[in-house]
Structure 1
Amino acid sequence: MAFSSYSPHSFAKDISILLTKILLGFATFVLSVGLIFGFLFKFHPSSVGWVIFMNHIHFPPFRNFSDLAVYNLQGENFFLDNGPVALGVWHLTEDAATPFVFEKQAQWTERPVVMYIHGAQGSRAAYHRIQMYQLLRRMGCPVVTFDYRGYGDSSGVPTSELDLLDDASAVYRWAVKKYPNRPIFFWGHSLGTGVSVRLVQTLEAASSRISGLILDSPYSSMFDVMRSSPLLFPFHQVPAFTEILLDALEEVHMTLNSSERVQHTRVPLLILHAEDDWVIPVSLGRKLYDVAKQRGANVVTEFVEYSREFKYGHRGIYRDPNLPVIVADFMSRSLEWRDSPQSFEVDIEPQT
């Protein structure tokens, strides 16, 4: 009776063939998907918004926006008309019961108002956003937050960054009417950082002054995000994919070029970024900070980078126990700078 033998050499050869097939299959998949996306971006540039906005992702679903007590929040929920769309808005009052108290806060004549401009996916009721609202409320700051068109319970569909800017502008006008004599700070997170920077630049060009800008996990430009995304990296190896993507972003006005715009502002700026942010690499936050510093030594410009050992990632900076102190100190320095003669000495070149 004969027995077949299976040598180590044969086994190694079979493994090599299997790995080759897997790599070829993966390369075929990347090439096929890259060509499909490239075709869409080339002939339907607006499809790039589907990748960036991700407003079709509702997690968790079936959020109750009207009952703020469910989220341990106090305030009001309402719809704000903005032309053809209605925006879902939360106006959250400060938490007077358990406020943080800091030495510099005692010098504030009135607590600042924070307008929170959120990122992609979900809604204003996402868990990590609620945690940030609660922290700000405990600092004694009223919070105004909203959903862009097509997000949460807001009507309409976003088609470009101009739509996001228009929605944020409408909410800002409401906040100014509600709090005409109180300092207003913008807090942008992720996608919302680009919207925040553009909103500040637009307002300053119209001679309006914002008290301060806080950018949580920001980027230098949307193209930099798409270029550095781990999910899209393989597709950039497909011929012409990168050039087609850039053209699509420009054609549908989705560049969100914060590096270009921030240098045309004089707003006090605080950047917060985690080293282990896998959605928007911390290198993009550093790049934006390096550009912002060039506005001059007189402009308040600060950067806080969190070590990966804290595991804050893209959405967890609210867990920093020292964050209230960092924010309060920045707000105090911003308000002092805003009222000083130095704030009027900064020469800002206007940009359209």
Structure 2
Amino acid sequence: MSRSPDKLFTKNHKSQDFYIVAEQPSEKKPKNRKKPKRRCGRICQVFCWCSASVACFYTLIPFLFWYFPEMCTFMIFSNRFRWPPLGNLNKPSDYGLNHTRNLYLNPRRNIQIGVWHVLPRVLADSNTFLSDLEYDQSLNEQKLPVVLYMHGNTGTRAGWHRLQIYQVFSSMNYHTITFDYRGYAESTGVPSEDGVVEDGQYLFNWIKQRVKKDTPIILWGHSLGTGVATKLAKNLCDEGSPPAALILEAPFTNIVNATYHHPFLIPFKFFKTLKVKLTNFVQRSGVEFASDESISSVTSPILILHAEDDLLIPIELGKKLYDIGVETRPKESGPIKFVAFKAVHGYGHKHIHKAPELAEIVSSFMQTCMESGF
């Protein structure tokens, strides 16, 4: 009997027979264990690719800002990012604002801005359609406060969180005048710091011509709009025509500091050379919105609102602006107040309008201002 190399035999010496006691497995190819290594390799490749992309992104930004200063302006205003992307701003009712008119005004001959006028709840009548003349007359009928609202960057006056704050104003029986800066939505032109402030000043004067003499006109700015509102308030105070109050929602000290805290540009904060260059780029763009300088000239009462969980503009910037205002404003200025909203509420950067006590905070502040002679 021939012996197979694949089998192990033992010999019985008595019977001279061979018995198979075990089988030795034939040689097989080892299982392919390279797959996990390949997976790990792919993960490493993806990680390296992402890291390289991020590195290129942050390396290219300084060069792009240097050779194309307008890119810095574009990133600050982000006016091309329109949300909602579709919709007819001519019909505020499409956005749930039934007692609102749409109109277009011209701060300059070649500039047209889109404007909404939202009626206070006390004047709203669902069964009545008001003409533009009647809307104008409603501003003069009673001394109801008027809020001139200046929104942040990106989007339009129809942004969801903006619609909610208009409803808050209406429930407080305040008129609301809100608009899209030049270059936003259907407003013509190109945005610039002086340009958007000019739009706001034009509307302030437009309101003032239509209301009774002692009607409170409140400037309310959110995010980037706080820079617009603060500079506008400074200009109005310098001209001897201060607003009744300046209310800042999620403000910053200046654009440079706000930029360092933006999630996409935080790496610049940790490299001194890049930080200096970023400052130079912003200065070259001509867009600074230095509220920390403007606030020292604002004699009107100031209310600052900020959420502790604001990730875009940290509450520390709002507190710092408040401290600067306390230290630098003239002694005869109106009161200044800071209100912080706890992080547990989740208001973040855009949703302070959800605070059930917001209307009471604003009303109480305005009442205090009136009692103190402002």
For normalisation by structure 1, the TM-score amounts to 0.85
Q: Does residue 281 in structure 1 map to residue 314 in structure 2?
A: yes
Look up the match of 1:135. 168
Matching residue of 2:113: 87
Distance 1:21 1:225 in 2: 34
For residues 166 and 4 of structure 1, the distance between their equivalents in structure 2, rounded to whole angstroms, comes to: 74
Quote the Cα distance in structure 2 between the aligned partners of 1:309 and 1:133.
24
| Aligned counterpart, 2:122 | 96
Q: Which residue of 2 aligns with 1:203?
A: 236
**How big is the shift at 1:148?**
0.2
Instruction: Tell me, yes or no, if the aligned pair for 2:256 and 2:288 is still in contact at 8 Å.
Output: yes
Assess if the C-alpha contact under 8 Å between 1:31 and 1:235 holds in 2: no
SS at 2:298 equivalent: coil
| Partner AA of 1:318 in structure 2 | H
In structure 2, the CA distance between the partners of 1:272 and 1:41, relative to structure 1 (3 Å rule), is same
Contact 1:34 1:241 in 2 (8 A): no
Q: Which runs of 5+ in 2 are unaligned?
A: 1-27, 125-141
Taking a change above 3 Å as real, the CA distance of residues 283 and 19 of structure 1, as seen in their structure-2 partners, is: farther
Query: How many Å apart are 1:27 and its aligned residue?
Result: 4.1
C-alpha deviations, 1:118-139, integer Å up to 9, x for none? 1111111111111111111111
- Give the one of 26, 30, 35 matched to 1:3: 30
Q: How does 1:85-164 map to 2 (within 5 A)?
A: 85-96=111-122, 110-158=143-191, 160-164=192-196
Post-superposition offset of 1:299: 3.4
Q: Structure 1 residues 19 and 266, CA, compared in 2 at 3 Å: closer, same or farther?
A: farther
In structure 1, what residue type is equivalent to 2:247?
A: I
Specify the code of the residue in structure 1 equivalent to 2:111. V
Match of 2:350 in 1: 315
- CA shift digits 1:187-232 (9 cap, x unpaired): 1001000000000011111111211011011111110111111211
Paired residue for 2:199, among 158, 163, 167?
167
Please point out which of 49, 67, 73 is paired with 1:49: 73
- Whether the aligned pair in 2 keeps the contact of 1:46 and 1:248 (CA below 8 Å) is no
Local SS of the residue matching 1:178? coil
Matched, 1:67 2:91: yes
Q: Is the 8 A contact 1:219 1:280 kept in 2?
A: yes
1:301-347 residue CA offsets vs partner (Å, 9 max, x unmatched): 111111111011111111111111001001111223344xxxxxxxx
- Residue number in structure 1 paired with 2:366: 331
Tell me how far apart the structure 1 counterparts of residues 90 and 50 of structure 2 sit (CA, whole Å). Answer: 46
Q: Is the counterpart of residue 229 in structure 1 residue 256 in structure 2?
A: no
- The residue number in structure 2 matching 1:102 is none
Name the CA distance, whole Å, in 2 between partners of 1:297 and 1:309.
37
**Residue of structure 2 equivalent to 1:33:** 57
Report the RMSD for the aligned CA atoms in angstroms: 2.6
Deviation track 1:135-193 (CA, whole Å, cap 9, x = no partner) reads 111111111111001112211121x2111111111111111112142110111001000
Are positions 1:249 and 2:274 aligned together?
no
- Indicate conservation of the 8 Å contact 2:299/2:333, yes or no: no
How far, CA to CA, are the matches of 2:274 and 2:189 in structure 1? 30
Q: Which whole-Å CA distance do the structure 2 matches of 1:241 and 1:80 have between them?
A: 41
Q: Matched residues in 2 for 1:261 and 1:270: separation? A: 15
- Show the counterpart of 1:258: 291
Q: How many residues were matched structurally?
A: 326
The CA deviation string for residues 1-52 of structure 1, in whole angstroms up to 9 with x for no partner, is 3536969xxx89x96x777766654443233112222112112212101111
- 2:339 is paired with a residue whose SS is strand
Q: Is the contact made by 2:299 and 2:334 (CA closer than 8 Å) also made in structure 1?
A: yes
Task: Identify which of 305, 317, 329 aligns with 2:340.
Answer: 305
Query: What residue number does 2:19 align with?
Result: none
Aligned: 1:194 with 2:227:
yes
Structure of higher CA gyration radius: 2
Once the two structures are TM-superposed, the CA of residue 264 in structure 1 deviates from its matched residue by 2.1
Q: Higher mean Cα deviation, 264-273 or 228-237?
A: 228-237
Shift of 1:233: 1.5
Change (3 A) 1:73 1:135: farther
Ranges in structure 1 where 5+ consecutive residues have no aligned partner: 99-108, 340-352
Report the TM-score, using the length of structure 2 for normalisation. 0.80
